[in-house]
Amino acid sequence: MRLFVALPPPPESLDEVQRAFLPYHHAWPGLRWLSRDNWHVTLAFLGEVPDRVLPRLEERLARAAARHAPMTFSFTGAGAFPSARRSRVVWSGLDGPRADLVKLAASLQAGARRAGAVETDDKRLRPHLSVARSREDVDVRPLVAALSSFTGAPWEASEIHLVRSDLGARVRYQTVESWPLSRTTLQGG
Ligand code: ATP
Ligand code: MG
């Protein structure tokens, strides 16, 4: 199955992002706005993982989550991949302890690899919340500029989700398991 690990921001924070972008939807017909139900912050993309790896994977991810404390972030501004001038993905950024988040992501990724998830993507993490995509390059510089002053309220990242992605006409995500972030040691491990 195709899996990734994500942070689920609280609905109130997603509401803020949605409200910030909504006034611009009509002006950007080239962008496909992603379903709010699917919004997430990807921490680690694991790719195709064999079923037999799942128990070990879950053990490793639980252990990684238990070694990291909750963190506070707020959504801020807008940006685009690969660039604002030739955007394919539009996102809102994260303000907060990015170094800690990158460490958590690296730890999840290393654990997943050790468990046998061999398709793990090792590109450097650039934390973001994707809100729109396009099939062609779109110059979204005016959109990025218009949203530069957007800042949402702080929210606590307190758990991680292991999510299964079923690709198809409509992408469907399903949370397989979730673990709290807590810097305490696991019992019985
Ligand atoms: P689709 O691929 O059909 O457009 P999607 O990108 O939403 O849909 P997935 O490709 O399964 O679904 O990706 C799940 C999550 O992992 C998304 O947040 C996506 O941005 C991220 N992701 C996908 N591929 C990679 C990758 N190679 N490296 C890093 N993150 C990735
Ligand atoms: Mg994809």
Q: First CA to last CA across the chain, in angstroms?
A: 26
Contact, 57 vs 39, CB < 8 A? no
What does pLDDT average to over the chain? 94
pTM, full prediction: 0.93
**Domains of the chain (ranges, CATH numbers):** 2-180 (3.90.1140.10)
- Taking CA atoms only, the protein residue closest to ligand 1 atom 2 is 167
How many CA atoms within 13 Å lie on the side-chain side of 44?
29
Pairing of strands 2-7, 41-48: antiparallel
Give the model's pLDDT for residue 169.
81
- Distance between CA atoms of 41 and 11, rounded to whole angstroms? 13
Is the beta carbon of 165 within 6 A of some atom in ligand 1?
Answer: yes
Give the model's pLDDT for residue 189.
46
Give the model's pLDDT for residue 123.
84
- Distance between CA atoms of 116 and 122, rounded to whole angstroms? 14
Ligand number nearest CA of 41 is 1
- 87 CA distance to ligand 1 middle (Å): 16
Which residue ranges in the chain fall short of pLDDT 50?
A: 189
Give the model's pLDDT for residue 46.
96
